[in-house]
Amino acid sequence: MSNCVIVGINWGDEGKGRMVDLLTERFDVVVRYQGGGNAGHTIINEKGKFALHLLPSGIFRKGVVNVLGNGMALDPENLWKEIMEVRANHIDITPDNLLISERASLLMPWHRELDQLEELRLADKQYGSTKQGIAPFYSDKYQKKTILAGELRDMDALRIHLRDLLEWKNLTLTRVYGAAPATMEQLDDWLHNYCEPILPFVCDTGAYLKKTQTEGRSILFEAQLGALRDLDYGIVPYTTSSNTLASYAPIGSGMPSVRIDEVIGVVKAYSTCVGDGPFVGEMFGPEADRLREAGAEYGAKTGRARRVAPLDLVATRYGVELQGATQIALTKLDVLSYMDRIPVCTRYRLNGKETDRFPFPADIDKAEPVIEYMEGWHCDISGIRRWEELPEAARKYVLMLESAVSCPVTFVSVGPERDSIILR
């Protein structure tokens, strides 16, 4: 297969991890190009059940090379812990199958602390951060106050750089938030425990990707979160602090000129959202509990109960456009099997008018959902592997989505396992 990006179309948690896990057998290289450990992919395969936060989902396939690109918030502490966890399940992780961009900026211990301090300060106006330090990290990156993974090669020079950063950062910690200052001893421990162990994986990933493309091998780019969480085009400020769009993959991977051939947009058969912010069509009470239970909708990173809502065609169409999706993978169709009739948000009502345009962020809260109902299929579909064998009502549901967003649905997932998939 040619080069392909797998992205989320909505709020994240669409099931991208299971799609990457499925498709990695068709690719030679899997690349993460944005975000950090603030979201997670849950992957179930023959080796067990894993919650990956930083490692690319290709880590389980023999022969696949995994790249952590420069666009990521590279957290050495969590990365090293995750490597050790996965290794404990007898999965090899070596500099042959994991490459870390020398241009990736490192998420520092103080980023996590600042994230918590700021959410505390915001009190009931919190942005709903996962407190993994992502926003403070990207702010510092834009201020050029971070260190690059490649700097780990020269510890003496790095310590001088770190001392300067420490002096600067302590002004914020102590004078803005009244917190205790960070110390060089703490940073030395951090370097020793988490940075030195990852150094063997650090290299020029751009050169590697260029070679991969020249040799005609294929690359899969794996995004985190979804289009509505994009820093520029999402529901600001309830977004993440990086660009979750497919168009950022070349820049965040290390090879800005890399060719993208396909964009697979992952859409869940209903909507979920973690954290705060407007969520048109949100379901509450027993109806919401039932859907949340049926879909096991609890955050992979935080364990937080996810908010649930019907499939939102307005948001999904916007997401498909933003991602430039060339095909859709629809996940969790099996979860809807219990419903007699299935609600779908087809339009929004805003300022007295119906619209199918996704509103400006500050207006979303004023929008109300226009709900229509599709017929349910009243049977377990999780064992079905062929499109023709799906009940007619389930096929109608898929075709409705396809025509509403003008993009072909090429995969229908009916269970979390690797083979619970219908290819169209």
Handedness of CA 112, 238, 126, 179 (dihedral sign): positive
Residues 178-237 that bind ligand GDP (CB under 6 A): none
Smallest separation, CB 180 to ligand GDP (Å)? 35
150 lies in the site for ligand GDP, by CB under 6 A: no
* Choices 231-239, 350-358, 403-411, 412-420 (CB under 6 A): range interacting with ligand GDP: 412-420
Per-position x/- string for 300-329, each x denoting binding to ligand GDP as judged by CB under 6 A, each - no binding: x-----------------------------
Verify whether residue 13 is a known catalytic residue: yes
Cβ atoms within 10 Å, residue 57? 27
Distances (CA, A) of 44 to 17, 72, 171, 225, 305: 9, 24, 45, 19, 20
Among 10, 13, 70, 104, indicate the residue that binds ligand GDP (CB under 6 A): 13
Output b/e per residue, 6-39; b: 16+ Cβ within 10 A.
bbbbbbbbbbbbbbbbbbbeebbbbbbbbbbbbb
18 lies in the site for ligand GDP, by CB under 6 A: yes
Smallest separation, CB 20 to ligand GDP (Å)? 8
Return the number of the residue (140 or 334) whose C-beta is nearest ligand GDP: 334
Among 5, 7, 17, 106, indicate the residue that binds ligand GDP (CB under 6 A): 17
Distance, CA of 52 to CA of 198 (rounded, Å): 17
Smallest separation, CB 228 to ligand GDP (Å)? 13
Residues 30-89 that bind ligand GDP (CB under 6 A): 39-42, 44
Return the number of the residue (49 or 121) whose C-beta is nearest ligand GDP: 49
Residues 330-359 that bind ligand GDP (CB under 6 A): 331-332, 334-335
What are φ and ψ of residue 286, in 5° steps? -60, -35
**DSSP readout, 308-343?**
EE-EEHHHHHHHHHHHT-SEEEEE-GGGGGG-SEEE
Mode of pairing for the β-strands spanning 307-309 and 271-273 = antiparallel
414 lies in the site for ligand GDP, by CB under 6 A: yes
Do 358 and 347 touch, CB atoms closer than 8 A? no
Return the number of the residue (212 or 331) whose C-beta is nearest ligand GDP: 331
Non-local (6+) Cβ contacts of 100 within 8 A are: 67, 68, 74, 149, 198, 201, 202, 203, 205
Among 3, 9, 10, 15, indicate the residue that binds ligand GDP (CB under 6 A): 15
Q: Which of 21, 28, 41, 75 is catalytic?
A: 41
Residue appearing with tokens 């994230």: 115
**DSSP readout, 404-421?**
HHTS-EEEEE-SSSTT-E
Smallest separation, CB 318 to ligand GDP (Å)? 18
Return the number of the residue (359 or 416) whose C-beta is nearest ligand GDP: 416
Distance, CA of 366 to CA of 352 (rounded, Å): 10
Q: Which of 13, 21, 312, 334 is catalytic?
A: 13
Verify whether residue 41 is a known catalytic residue: yes
Non-local (6+) Cβ contacts of 32 within 8 A are: 54, 55, 56, 66, 67, 68, 69, 72, 222, 224
* Choices 115-123, 242-250, 395-403, 407-415 (CB under 6 A): range interacting with ligand GDP: 407-415
Smallest separation, CB 223 to ligand GDP (Å)? 9
Q: What is the DSSP letter of 55?
A: S
Q: How many residues does the chain have?
A: 424
Smallest separation, CB 294 to ligand GDP (Å)? 8
Smallest separation, CB 330 to ligand GDP (Å)? 8
Among 16, 141, 229, 307, indicate the residue that binds ligand GDP (CB under 6 A): 16
413 lies in the site for ligand GDP, by CB under 6 A: yes
Handedness of CA 345, 308, 381, 377 (dihedral sign): negative
- What residues are annotated to the active site? 13, 41
- Please give the residue ranges that form the binding site for ligand GDP (CB under 6 A): 8, 13-18, 39-42, 44, 300, 331-332, 334-335, 413-416
